[in-house]
Chains A and B, each alone.
Chain A
Amino acid sequence: MQFAHSEEQQLIRESARSLLSTGAGPAQLRAVLERPGGYDVDLWRTIGELGWTGLAIPQAYGGAGLGWVELCILQEELGRRLVASPFFATSALAAPLISSSGTEEQRATLLPRIASGTVRIACALGGTDGRPPCDGVTATLERRGAGFTLSGVCDFVIHADTAELLLVLARAPLSQGAEGISVAVIPAATAGVTIQSHVMLDLTRPMSRVELSGVSVGREQLLGEPGTAGAAVEEALDLARIALASEALGGAERLLEMTTAYVKERLQFGRPIGSFQAVKHRLADMMIEVEAAKSAAWYAACVADERRTELAEAAAIAKSYCCDAFFDCAANAIQLHGGIGFTWEHEAHLYFKRARATATLLGSPAWQRERLVRGFASGAAATPVF
């Protein structure tokens, strides 16, 4: 038992941090957010060349063959810098969906493209109300002749406006819950697909509405057996939740550092404000949450690699705790920076907004908690729905 990162894992962290400290600073982020598409094209190319996108993909499919622990280290580092990147959507969401649902042939076709950083994939998971899968899957897949027809409106689709491929969750007509779920892979530029990007609260993770009007889908475009992907999807989403939790942890940790540095240098009443207990104790509370969030995210990443029986629980714990911690840290960062923390110019609001949006994604903290209670107590509550 060694619940700490190995030297090799530390090295991955150090090299990622060093790359992002020069390649993804606040100024670069601002510039990126001004551009259409809302992600850093140069950085995306660089991390593809460095093999980040294939870090957790098996060597047989052109990846580095490392695990979720290593991928989550990258997610933490990306989260620290609020990097706007299709990395999460492609490598932490689409890749596990393909791995868990696809046939050997489909994996051999799609995963090497992800590993080489030459494809961006967006995942259309649910409908317009934002309920997480599988309950929230509303697009339908109907048989038509030898093929299928895909219809419906998917929303909250991350980086759909710049993706080459769409991975769409759809259900058999009249099916419910995890029953009847299929995963379709279609080029974004397919007849009947309309992608409309939104102005989002969180400026760093663009989302779009994807309308599917009777899109023809061939049998070979469905991952695995049609209508049977429910369990595989749930597992892949838990991996994605752990990756998101890691990103949130990185953001929370960075906010703690930024705010600690600020209260040491900001003088009022002739003293650094960090010498006042009212300020100190808030920072202490931030650190308590950050440390617990580390335990949550790191444990969950380990579970993903070596103890899949605990996956759902560890993912729910990590997703809920790390997102709450990120939000609390962002809220405290704004408060402790005072007036400057409320300005558009200061970065605090970017973190605050990302914290809120990350919490919402793939099931809110409250939703994760309800899921958790169902694991150890009787009954079920009707709320929360997302």
Chain B
Amino acid sequence: MKLGFTPKEERFRAEAAAWLEAQLSGPFRDLRGKTGQSGQAQRRRAWERALGAAGWSCIGWPEAYGGRDASLAEQVIFAEEYARAGAPGRLGYMGVELAGPTILAFGTAAQKRRFLPPIARGEELWCQGYSEPSAGSDLANVRTRAVLQAGGAGGEWVVNGQKTWTSFAQFADWCFVLCRSEEGSRAHRGLSYLLIPMHQPGVTVRPIRQMTGGADFNDTFFADARTDADNIVGAAGDGWKVAMGTLSFERGVSTLGQQMNFANELRAIVSAAEANGLIHDPEIRQRLAHAYIGLRLMRYSALRMLSSVEAGKLSNEAYTYKIFWASWRKKLGVLALDVLGPRGEIAAGTAYEWELLPRLFLGSRADTIYGGTNQIQRNIIAERALGLPRESRGG
């Protein structure tokens, strides 16, 4: 057990902090504190390029692909400094955290050379094509079809179907898509993991308005959309394995940055309670303490997870992390509105648009649904981590 960092790591911290400070008090001062992921898309795109140009976009990747070969401790440090500086939520998230690591783990040498550097430079943005109207919790039920046809240099995949809940699709240059490449196949067999360019006639993106009033994600329609035959990660039919790999990357170092946003939300609630006197209410105080404890435990658990990843194993806390933070944040949303009181139900302006805390109250309802619902998480914990008998699956 050792919590501290070495002098070399502390020098790395100073370097990262200095760069972030220079950017966020200089050319990108308008983005400071914009820790969400929506709004100001053009400026966020510029920020991704600035991160890339300075080599701070994908620091854990090999240098050959635009990374820094940063150690785990350095990645933790960068995530902490990034959040501490109030640096903006990343438009490049899907490429940096999901597509890139998947290609690194499962892609060919040519795919790594083609796709990783533009992600690291902040030039190409990605979105995720997993969920479909009939494939939510039951992800293996995807129906989007891919057929390999002659044409182009070595043939191309022709893709038809509908993906849904695709965040960032309106900005993305590429989409990683789980689709059915063997006709008549069922469940997790016969699936393939394709990389599809978004800027083509066969791809249509339609925003979905959420209960928050905003529209952060989309329906994405593929109608004879095309991509080169080479743009498949893993073998044809191995898409399920590759997609599950991507899901496990969702629990990386980025969770530490996410926690800083949660901390800002909790701080805002404490300030609101101090302003309206509810800070003296014993029940509110207890709930604030519960929230604070949960926040700290997320940090401790993330550090544990990262330490065990470095030791090359998936530990138990990796199974429980998602449901823990999602359930925590949903409670935080209710606490926020309880602290705001009746005023919290009045919008600031004339549109159905909300400030931080009401947005937390509404937005957190999605946390226990996306990325595996709480119910699915509990099944996974019980069956895979505790080894209880599997639920019978319908045919």
Contacts and interface: CB of A to CB of B under 8 A. Distances in A.
B324 A288 contact: yes
B54 interface: no
Interface in B339-395: 375, 377-379, 381-383, 385-391
A1 B279 contact: no
Contacts of B387: 260, 264
B274 A317 contact: no
Given A291-B320, A294-B317, A4 B1 contact: yes
A370 interface: yes
Nearest to B283: A381
B378 A372 contact: no
Contacts of A291: 301, 316-317, 319-320, 324
A68 to B, nearest CB: 10
Given A287-B320, A379-B280, A306 B3 contact: yes
A376 B292 contact: yes
B300 interface: yes
Given A3-B3, A287-B320, A369-B289, A281 B311 contact: no
Interface string A355-386: 00000000000100110110011110111100
Interface in A260-304: 260, 263-264, 271-272, 274-275, 277, 280-281, 283-285, 287-288, 291-292, 294-296, 298-299, 301-303
B3 A288 contact: no
A113 to B, nearest CB: 29
Contacts, number: 171
B292 A5 contact: no
Contact of B389 (A275, A281, A302, A379): A275
Contacts of A14: none
Q: How many A residues touch the partner, as a band?
A: 35 or more
Interface in A194-227: none
A366 B282 CA distance: 10
A45 interface: no
Nearest to B72: A1
Contacts of A299: 3, 300, 303
A317 B288 CA distance: 13
A5 B1 contact: yes
Nearest to B318: A291
Contacts of B379: 277, 280-281, 284
A12 to B, nearest CB: 12
B3 A302 contact: yes
A313 B289 CA distance: 11
A336 B100 CA distance: 44
10 contacts: A4-B311, A5-B1, A264-B387, A277-B375, A277-B378, A283-B386, A283-B388, A284-B323, A370-B286, A376-B292
